[in-house]
Structure 1
């Protein structure tokens, strides 16, 4: 009985090795015959070492992480701009200056009206 078991083991070992050898041979033959792709000469190039420059063209919408609306209490023509796009700013920092001529004219007109009112006021 012990010898029969040993013989069965040897038989299975030889069968397994035979199947493995046949599979390897078939794989090599299939790989050799399956790689018959022919390239056109225009698709071939000589290998060179160098930098690769790539660009990606895509469509989409760029949105900021945070959006801040800057508003002024006064309107007018900007005469001086003290900051740039994407610059970091601090609270209280002057960002721009408006043309002051119009507002100075309005102040002068208001002062003149105030003086006229004081002059027209009857004395008691």
Structure 2
């Protein structure tokens, strides 16, 4: 079981992600903005962060999480363009997931990111 923080301003999307991850045994916290997410990082193993949010952008949120040595981040976006993907990865995201996505795709990506992080920590 991993502790996962989902930074997503759309309540329905956040709720669906939480359901999928919780059913797989993960503990899930939600934050509705980049600012709220930055204050909720303690004890978190992985962050899923939307790129387009009011206030602090997802890209800047990822940059700040990684700059302070925070957990790995998976970027989420409905805008699946090469520049969005490249920007997220350049900011420090370990992976990018375009919306909409299915439950299995989400779980595969989360498990892969957690495995990579675990092998790097050893």
TM-score, normalising length: structure 2: 0.20
More strand by share: 2
